[in-house]
A and B are shown apart, each in its own frame.
Chain A
Amino acid sequence: MFNIPKKDAITFVLFAIVVLTMPIWLAPLGASYPGLLQKFAIYALLAVGYNILFGLTGYLSFGHAAFLGVGSYAAVWSFKLLSMNPVLALVFAIFFSGLFALAIGFISLRRSGIYFSILTLAFAQMSYKLAYSVLSPITHGENGLQLTLQDPRAIDMMFIERGSSLPTSSLFGIPMNGYAGFYFCAVILLIGFFIAQKITSSPFGMMLKGIKSNEDRMNYTGFNTKPYMLTAFVISGIYAGVAGGLLSITDPLAGAERMQWTASGELVLMTILGGVGTLVGPVIGAWIIKYFENIFSAFNESVLHNFFAFLPDNFESIVVLISSKFVGEGWHLTLGLMFVLVVVFLPGGIMEGVRRISARFSNRKDPSKGEEVIDPENLPKPDLKKGE
């Protein structure tokens, strides 16, 4: 089970070192505080899981935010009803997000292409709207689901007295906020990354790539693609559920806005930005977006004035005026532009860029690419109506 190709093993070790030393190397970048570190680990996990669906099979889901939300709610309910133990909360999150993904996937996967995307979008929006309205008893609507002093916490109550303040989630007595929370998330991320590596290098992963490449051929080759797709969908839904659970573990407050479709859009962006179909790419994409979201949105004009202080005064104020539109409140503008530029110029994302640069530096030809032969059949076909 643990036998993985040497190349993957090296990647994993390097990745583990990078993740676990984040508090150190992010310090000079001003991002080494627990709240942000936890987000890095959690959203990286989310992106790794999303890539199992979108990257390997090519099915574009706009509904993963729903699984994130379900995971968050499940974890908070586990805190409320049973125990503050984070592992139990994750089990809850896995179970419910898995179940939810199974139901939505079963229906959505009856269609492919943009119809699949719209179906997942419709389900996510339904979940979001219901979480705000009818399901308020479960989700606590706009206020969000949070812990109260009166929660039953059945298992915990057998061992400890009810305290006078809100409890925090803890494992072996170590509270899951602060750096301990980050390391907990980091370990889960590493496990998730390892599983994703296994899937990618396994025959199962190859089948998923086969579906992306030519689903019809998969059928004529004797594969029943539906269960393959459903498995991939559920696995990636569970990743999102675990990520949602971790969000609740580090901060036990679950709100419906996590389920909005723009949250799914952000996830797609992370994956695209980093590099669809690669293992490390989505992680990098998630980190970049979360980093800039935190750093850029904290910028204000005085920071900019300091930053551009070396410029002549008049010029400086113009530069500050323009650049202020892109930071702080305007951070989404930067995000949108980044999105457009990446899709236009670098559809393979950052990983593609890295590959191109390294290819330029080394004259060695990439053996996996071989010689490009221009074949008229490979050119994209203009006809959109692929019917019979």
Chain B
Amino acid sequence: MDAFFLQVLNGLDKGGAYALIALGLTLVFGTLGVVNFAHGALFMIGAFCAVTFRKLITLEQVVLSKTELSPWGTPLEIRTPYAQQWFGDFGNVLIDYSVPFSLLLAIPVMLLIGISMERGLIKHFYKRPHAEQILVTFGLAIVLQEIVKTFFGANPNPQPIPQALQGAADLGVMVGLAQHTITYPIWRLVYLLFSLSVIASVFAFLRFTTFGMVVRAGMADRETVSMLGINIDKRFTIMFGIAAVVAGLAGVMYTPILPPDYTLGMDFLVLSFIVVVVGGMGSLPGAVLAGFTLGVVQSLASMTAVKDILPGIDQIIIYLVAVIILLVRPRGLLGKRGVMEN
């Protein structure tokens, strides 16, 4: 039973990542009607925002020591990060918390990338068939990942967890179980809370702001809203930017869990498309629900007890669930009827 809980928890943080990517995909699909295969690449670029940020703040000044010698008899190199020199202690905090601080870099970068992507390429594809949208965004995804590869190489770039958040929390104790029954890495807990709060903010934004209300109305009936003289396209462009930001933030915070390399986007893309379809094309709550559900299901399937009965099930469970959902309930968990049937 404890192992079960632990697996559920393990699934939730992955589910959080799925949900965030799927949320963005659904926003783009719901507002612009575009099937964006480059969305996984946005997640990957977000992750590399964290890598870049860390590279920048850990740039070091190298001074040759006049007194001390290294074991080889050469003058000792004293390396001090510029951040430390300039900001003192805050610089050290900055380096320690580089991943969370990268969020500040990721927001403007992702917004810019998202909006220029939409204005530069995607907008020409609103009225083209879905197959062409898939193809052009797939091509774009390849381009983006190859660009990242030229700058950062093919190897994974591990990112550290801030010291205070390393280690594991003993959740079992909190609910009155014996010690060490359910321990859970703190950072994963942070990720889970982070994804929940991003999801909550996106929903709150759509629900309580005028901007969000117009967008929701536009998702429901674009033509009527346009007829009211509201420039819906501009808002949709911004929504694309927001979707990119959401994917990017998800990527930033995921870096300590999975060291990013340039293929990260493609790996997550296929999965998050499955998530979107399972949740129901165009349904935001569906995307979130399916994201967490599939994360947990995948995690449960990799329990040894399950794998003993069904070998290999952990490898394919998500696809299997997708196939079953599509056959039994083609509109997904919470989707509306008839969306994208053709």
Contact = CB atoms under 8 A, between A and B. Distances in A.
B132 interface: yes
A293 B143 CA distance: 16
A293 to B, nearest CB: 13
A319 interface: no
Contacts of A134: 311-312, 315
Interface string A107-132: 10011111101110111011001101
A126 B319 contact: yes
Contacts of A366: none
A114 B134 contact: yes
Nearest to A117: B134
B135 A382 contact: no
Interface stretch (B70-78, B101-109, B122-130, B186-194): B122-130
Contact of A265 (B138, B222, B319, B340): B138
Interface in B303-342: 311-312, 315-316, 319-320, 322-323, 326-327, 330, 336-342
Interface in A95-113: 107, 110-113
Contact of B146 (A121, A126, A336): A336
Contacts of A385: 336, 338-339
Contact of B342 (A129, A336, A340, A386): A386
A380 B124 CA distance: 13
A330 interface: yes
Nearest to B277: A118
A14 interface: no
B143 A129 contact: no
Given A107-B327, A119-B326, A133-B315, A336 B143 contact: yes
A336 B142 CA distance: 5
A205 to B, nearest CB: 20
Q: Which of A60, A114, A347, A387: most chain B CB closer than 10 A?
A: A114
Nearest to B341: A113
Interface string A243-269: 000000000000000000110010011
Nearest to A337: B143
Nearest to A125: B319
B273 interface: yes
B276 to A, nearest CB: 9
B94 interface: no
A124 B278 CA distance: 17
A73 to B, nearest CB: 17
Contacts of B134: 60, 114, 117
B146 A330 contact: yes
Given A115-B326, A330-B146, A339-B142, A387 B315 contact: no
A281 interface: no
A380 B135 contact: no
Given A114-B35, A119-B326, A121-B270, A335 B342 contact: no
A58 B129 CA distance: 11
B140 interface: yes
Contacts of B223: 382-383
B121 interface: yes
Contact of A130 (B132, B316, B340): B316
Contact of A118 (B136, B138, B326): B326
A122 B143 contact: no
B139 A112 contact: no
Interface residues of A, number: 53
A125 B270 contact: yes
Given A122-B319, A332-B142, A387-B338, A111 B147 contact: no
> Could you tell me the dominant secondary structure of chain B's interface residues?
helix
Nearest to A343: B136
Contacts of B316: 125-126, 129-130
Which range holds the interface residue count of chain B?
35 or more
Q: Which of A119, A126, A343, A379: most chain B CB closer than 10 A?
A: A343
B252 interface: no
Contact of B138 (A130, A325, A339): A339
Nearest to B327: A110
B138 A114 contact: no
B297 interface: no
A336 B139 contact: yes
A377 interface: no
Contacts of B142: 332-333, 335-336, 339
A123 B146 contact: no
Contact of A340 (B130, B143, B315): B143
Contact of B139 (A340, A383, A384, A387): A340
Contacts of B150: 325, 330, 333
B312 A130 contact: yes
A382 B121 contact: no
A112 B341 CA distance: 6
A8 B24 CA distance: 48
Interface string B135-174: 1101111110111011000000000000000000000000
Contact of A382 (B127, B266, B273, B338): B127
Contacts of A117: 134
Nearest to B30: A384
B330 A115 contact: yes
Contacts of A130: 312, 315-316
Contacts of B124: 344
Interface in A323-352: 325, 329-330, 332-333, 335-340, 343-344, 347
A371 interface: no
Contacts of A111: 326-327, 330
Q: Which of B142, B281, B315, B326: most chain A CB closer than 10 A?
A: B142
B33 interface: yes
Nearest to A388: B338
Interface of B: 33, 35, 121, 124, 126-132, 134-136, 138-143, 145-147, 149-150, 222-223, 266, 270, 273-274, 277, 281, 311-312, 315-316, 319-320, 322-323, 326-327, 330, 336-342
13 contacts: A111-B327, A119-B322, A122-B320, A129-B319, A135-B312, A261-B270, A330-B149, A333-B146, A336-B142, A385-B336, A385-B338, A387-B339, A388-B338
